[in-house]
Chains A and B, each alone.
Chain A
């Protein structure tokens, strides 16, 4: 008996669903979007894994809530795999993501991983890849419009650094560059050197350090000894914790002379970095100032969720996943190529603007097929033809009392 009733109920439910579905008309099938997270969970960059994982998971929570509030039948699930920070392992990891039905892939963090994944898997399947790698090298390969970078490429950032230093220290001064010996620091330091010298400035020393060393006192001493007017520091938080401490220990270091690149941009200075190493330091971060409220909302969400502390690029990872979701809603499809073709329709200059706080409205509008402009936590997205952010607006910020405070905005056209 009960079995029969159960079956009847099931049939009733199915037909009810069918009616609802058909009432919504064609193309309104419930979206079941899988977003792939290619994370550095193990390997030499494993400190980047947990914050990126949390950011992408948060985006799914926010997106699902927005879809529910908007009354749009769409669901986001995160599937993740460990790239191990290694191009070879990233290939295997990406294959598992594709097998699990990922329509977009967030990450990885390095250019070698990105290129190997692009050539090996994603380009052929039109899957959009959202790497956090900022090297200009990434743009020397053919990508068929599948690579969208949520972070600005190095060449713009170096110009922003030049402007920031000119505004706060002065033109034509002596600058010491300290960078972590990796593609990111290497490329950015080179373009900064060119740009700074073109503006009549001098470079007092360029010091690159191996991230796997245990102490950086000699490196710090060399940078301080040249008595520069400003320091440009291109580093990740994990190593800056050691380098910054070493700089302070020299006794001749003034954190107010420091200008950090975007990998050291965070709402709050992390616990592991000695406060003295960043207090009063300046920095640049790509994006536009309209994102400020969204930035606060995101940081509130982050803190409420508990778990790992906020880190650099988490807002960019979060935004990238939201863009994938909105594009899928706009396309009414989870087919990777369809999503790829709609990314510019959800970041349309001049279309109605939405942020993380008005995401439900964004979903509602996108579901009707109208163009929107999602202004992310990390700023508005204006993608160039090659998929890099074109925004020439950079925030110059300063760390005051352990918190990031926006000072001004520079335009680096």
Chain B
């Protein structure tokens, strides 16, 4: 309720410009802006450089976007700012190393690692989140617990595996030539997996009964409870899905990047949150699109400034989007009425 009133106030005070723009559906508006920007860059820097930066933007965006899908589910359904999500990605990657070391072939090790991470995510629900929810913990307590859990996960991994750089040994140097443009083979794979995961999660949420229940629960928890939905079941499924997706993206990241240590989750974390918020919390399409928008803007910015400003560009974009598009790209219309 509070959210709605506050949003309304924000809307009411928003500038004339943004209310005029708000008449368009936001994804269409965004697409239009991106196309205009791309055309400008093509004119300014020539098609090859502009398009290569675009390809690179899609690659960079797919890493964060895919990682953010699991995060947005937990944030949307459970309203939990899971600061340990980045470390779940790390856990997935290192479970793969563990199972491969135990003798499983790599693809099987990856699959086992995803299942193990999903189980771990469910375990955190049972051991940490459920008791906190029952005790009606405030948002700061939840936040603190998430930081604590993140530390425990990351440093347990480091305790056993060390902090030295690891690799999964995939060939990261092959690339696909599209005319004068280049796209790494594994990067293309990451992009395809990212889009597939987004579509699958989106379809599950839209068409399956559990997906519908999850959305109902996300929209109004109290209403979902009184209408007889098994809320604990929904929460469990959300955690399993989030853990599985985290491991999937962590493993894909580790494979396609080729070099990592237990810190990669925490360094990715802020980008993951940015993608989630930009896309609209709780929306899997939004998470990936949010990631892509950040990726594109950062890579495009390298045409204009030295690449070392890339992270600052991402954060500046995040602030601008929060100010002018506070519900995110795919934020639900329900909140607006």
Contact = CB atoms under 8 A, between A and B. Distances in A.
**Direct A–B contact in complex, judged by CB atoms less than 8 Å apart:** yes
A209 B165 contact: no
B26 interface: no
B308 A46 contact: no
A251 B268 contact: no
A207 B307 CA distance: 7
Interface in A46-66: 46-47, 49-51
A271 B169 contact: yes
B27 interface: no
Interface stretch (A120-128, A213-221, A317-325, A374-382): A213-221
Contacts of A311: 164
Given A237-B165, A309-B164, A248 B173 contact: yes
Given A47-B163, A47-B165, A217 B56 contact: yes
Contact of A214 (B49, B165, B268): B268
B182 A241 contact: no
B173 A46 contact: no
Contact of B59 (A181, A207, A208, A217): A217
A241 B165 contact: yes
Interface string B154-187: 0100100011111101011111010000101001
A207 B302 CA distance: 10
B157 to A, nearest CB: 12
B257 A214 contact: yes
Contact of B60 (A43, A214, A274, A308): A214
Nearest to B184: A249
B163 A218 contact: no
B311 A51 contact: no
A13 to B, nearest CB: 40
B307 A218 contact: yes
Interface string B59-95: 1100110000000000000000000000000000000
B60 to A, nearest CB: 5
A277 B258 CA distance: 13
A277 B169 contact: no
Contacts of A44: 263, 267
Contact of B164 (A213, A248, A308): A308
Contact of A210 (B64, B175, B262, B307): B307
B7 interface: no
B253 interface: yes
A206 B257 CA distance: 23
A207 B308 CA distance: 8
Contacts of B184: 217, 245-246, 249
Given A51-B164, A242-B259, A215 B182 contact: no
Contacts of B267: 44, 212
A69 interface: no
Nearest to A224: B182
B254 to A, nearest CB: 11
Contacts of A210: 307-308, 310-311
Nearest to A212: B267
A241 B163 contact: no
Contacts of B187: 215, 217
B112 interface: no
Nearest to A239: B259
A273 interface: yes
Contacts of A249: 172-175, 182, 184
Interface string B266-305: 0110000000000000000000000000000011001000
Given A215-B59, A271-B169, 5 more contacts: A44-B267, A209-B308, A214-B60, A215-B60, A238-B165
26 contacts: A43-B263, A44-B267, A46-B158, A46-B261, A46-B263, A47-B164, A47-B165, A49-B163, A181-B308, A209-B310, A210-B310, A213-B60, A214-B268, A215-B257, A219-B307, A221-B182, A225-B49, A241-B165, A241-B167, A242-B258, A245-B172, A251-B182, A272-B165, A272-B166, A272-B167, A273-B259
Interface of B: 49, 52-53, 55-56, 59-60, 63-64, 155, 158, 162-167, 169, 171-175, 177, 182, 184, 187, 253, 257-259, 261-263, 267-268, 298-299, 302, 306-308, 310-311
